[in-house]
Structure 1
Amino acid sequence: MKLLFSTERLPIKSRFERWLEMLEEQRLPLEQEQLDAAPFEAKLEIATLGPLTMTRVSEGPLRSEATPSAIRRLGDEGCISVGFTLAGMTKVQQRDRATAQRQGDLVVIEHQPTVMTTSPGNQSLYLKMPRERLESALGPARHYAALTIGSELATATLAMSFFVELSRMHYQLDAATAVRMGSIGVDLIVASIAERMARDVPLPLSDSVLVQRAKAHVEANLGDPTLDPPQVAAALGVSLHRLRDLFRTRGQHVSDWIWQRRLEVAADRLADPACAHITVGTLAGGCGFSSRTHFSRRFKDRFGLAPGEFRHAVGLAGH
C-alpha cells in the first residue's frame, strides 16, 4: 500500500496538527481530539482496486466525529465503508446503535453522523465501496450499520484475512485481477454480514437474509457441478420447500438463479482479457457445467451467441 502519512520523523509537538492537515487534504470528514497526553503517533496507507479503496490506519487513542456539515461537504453519499479492527479496540456510535469492535471484528459504517473512539495502539483497515454493492444484496444499510460482525464467525475471519493479504500483495497483481480479487472479498463481507444479521433480525428481514445467504453460498460454489437447490438448502439448514418458497415470493426459482449466475460469471470471464488463454471447455467446467456442449447450448439461449462467438464479439481471440 502507498504510504500517505507517518509521524515517525515529525517533531512531537507538530505531529497531531500535521495529522489534522492531512485529513483535510484527503477530504476525510472528521473532527478529532486526542484522548491522552502521550506523544501522538499515526500512519496512513492507501490502495485503490477499481471502485474499492483500501485504507490502513494506525493511530493513538482518538475521539473522531463525522458531523452533518462535514459529511455534506464531502458529498460521498453513494459510498459506504467497512472497517476491520486489526489491533486494539474501536468503538462506533451511529444512529441509535453503539458497539465495540475488538481485534478480528468488522463493522459497516454509513456516511452518516458518527462518533468513533480508538484505543492505544489501534490499527484498522477500512474498505470504501459503492453503497449499492452491499445494499443490493443485504437491503438498506441502516439495518446493519454499526453492528459488530465478530471474529467468532468463520466468514468474518475469512473476509478479514483475505483483505489483509490483498493489502500486502495487490501491487503484484495486474489491475484487472486486483479488481476481481476485491470483488471476491466483498462477497465474503456480504456473507459475513448476512450470517450476523440472521442471528437477531426481525422475521421479515430474516427471510431476506436467508435468501442472501443462499445466494452467497451459490457464488462460493458455482464451480461445483453438483450444486443444486437441495445442496443449498442443506447448507443453510432449511428445508428445500422453505428455500423454494423464499425465492418464489421474490419472483425467482433457486435452480434458475444458479444457472443465471453460472452464465453471467462465464460471460464475464469470456470478456476478461486475463482469462483469454483459458479454453472454453475449461472455463465451462470452472463455472459448474458438466460438458462444453451443455454450456454452449445454455449460453447461446441466454446471450444469442455461442461462447466462441461471444469472445470474438468482445475482441478476444476464440479458444
Structure 2
Amino acid sequence: MTQLTAEAPRPVEFSTVGLPEQRRIELWEGHNADALIGLRCRTIDAAVLEATELNLQLDQVHLARVRGTSHVVERDAEVIRRRPADAVALYFSLVGEAFFYHRDGVRVVRPGQLLICDADQPFLRGFSNGLEELVVKVPREVFAAVTGTGRPAEPVVVDFGSGGSPYARALARQVGRAARAVDPVPADERVLLELVAALATGGRDGLSPAHLAAARAFIGIHLADPGLSAPQVAAAVGLSTRHLSRVFAGEGTTLPKYVLERRLEAAHAMLQRPGSSATTVAETAHACGFASADHFSRAFAARFGERATDLRRRAVAARAMAPDPTG
C-alpha cells in the first residue's frame, strides 16, 4: 500500500449524493466556483444531479477527478467576469462522450481523449450519458513559464489512449493516481508541469522528467509483454534509444533494470493476493512478462531473499489464520 507523507496533501471529496434534491445544482455550482472552475449547471429533463468531485491542490497546479450523471455545464461571459480562473484547463475523458461548444465550433471528446482549453474563454460542455474525467488546472502564468505561451490559441483535443500521445497518457496516469480516494499516490508537480510542457511543445530535448514519466507509463501498460524492448519504448516516447538510455541513466539505472524491477514488484504483489494459490508460480511469472520461469525464480530470490513459492505459501497460511471478518 502506498503511503502519503505527512506533508503531502490529500484529495478532498465533495458529493451531491444525499443532499436535498432541490439544492443539489446550487451547491454543486458553489463548490466548483470555490474549489475548481466556476460554472452554470443544469440537468437534462430535470433529472436529479448526482455528482462527486475529488480535489487536490498542489503548490501551483490543481488536480481533480469528477464523476456525474447526465448534465450540461456552461462558462459564459458573466460567470467568467465574476469568477475568473486565469488558468488553462486540461480535461481527460475516462467515461462518457462529451461535446464542447466554443466560439470556434463544436468538438466531441470521447473516452481516451484530452481537451485543452483556456478556462476564461466562454464554452458549453454536455454529458448526455454522464461522465468521469480527470482535470488539471494550470495557472496561466505557470503555463506560460513552462510552455513559452500564455494560453492555447484554440481548444485542442489529444488522444491519450493506446497509440496516442505518450505525454498525455503519462500525465493522465500521474493525475489518476493522485486524485483518487483510496491509496492516492503523491504527485510530483515538477513532472506534471514537464508533461504539460511536452504536450504544448510536442516534446523537446531537455525534458527528461516528461520523457521518463512517459516511458514509465508505456512500460506499465506493456509490462506483461515479454518482448518489450528499448526500441519499442523509445519509439512510443518519441526518442532515440540512445537518448532514452541517457534519460534512465539520469535516474541511476537502465531501462532493462527498471523493467525487471517493475516485473518483480508486480509478481511479489500478485503472489500475496487472495486466491494466488490457484495460480502457479510459472503462470505468475508469465503474467508479469517473464519469458523464462527459471530466470524469474533466480531474479526473485536475488531481489527479495526468498523463493516465490515460499512467499506464496506464507501468504496463504497468513490468510488461513486471519479471523473471519463476518464473525
Q: TM-score, normalised by structure 1?
A: 0.55
Distance 2:70 2:241 in 1: 47
1:56 aligns with one of 50, 64, 68: 68
Residues 1-319 of structure 1 mapped to structure 2, 5 A cutoff: 18-21=24-27, 31-33=38-40, 41=46, 44-45=49-50, 55-63=67-75, 82-84=91-93, 86-89=97-100, 102-104=108-110, 105-107=113-115, 118-119=123-124, 121-123=126-128, 125-127=131-133, 148-151=156-159, 154-155=162-163, 197=199, 199-205=201-207, 207-236=208-237, 238-273=239-274, 275-314=276-315, 315=318
Overall identity of the aligned pairs, in %: 23
Contact 1:90/1:122 (8 A) holds in 2: no
Change (3 A) 1:115 1:276: farther
Residue 116 (structure 1) shift: 8.1
String of CA shifts for 1:138-173, please: whole Å, max 9, x gaps: xx9x9699984524975569x99xx9xxxxxxxxxx
Distance 1:66 1:311 in 2: 57
Distance 1:59 1:214 in 2: 36
SS in 1 for 2:132: strand
Distance 2:73 2:65 in 1: 24
**Residue type of the alignment partner of 1:86:** E
SS in 2 for 1:273: coil
Contact 1:53/1:127 (8 A) holds in 2: yes
**Residue type of the alignment partner of 1:308:** T
Distance 1:232 1:39 in 2: 44
Change (3 A) 1:273 1:39: closer
Count of matched residue pairs: 250
Residue 204 (structure 1) shift: 1.9
> Which is worse superposed, 288-297 or 17-26?
17-26
**Residue type of the alignment partner of 2:223:** L
RMSD: 5.4
Residue 232 (structure 1) shift: 2.8
Contact 2:146/2:197 (8 A) holds in 1: no
Distance 1:118 1:42 in 2: 22
Distance 1:254 1:247 in 2: 6
Residue 4 (structure 1) shift: 5.6
More helix per residue: 1
Q: Which runs of 5+ in 1 are unaligned?
A: 72-79, 92-99, 132-139, 164-178, 184-189
Distance 1:39 1:47 in 2: 17
Change (3 A) 1:66 1:303: farther
Q: TM-score, normalised by structure 2?
A: 0.54
**Residue type of the alignment partner of 1:243:** L
Change (3 A) 1:156 1:305: same
Distance 1:195 1:285 in 2: 37
Distance 2:221 2:25 in 1: 41
Q: Which runs of 5+ in 2 are unaligned?
A: 1-14, 57-63, 137-142, 173-181, 186-191, 321-327
Distance 1:195 1:208 in 2: 11
SS in 1 for 2:282: helix
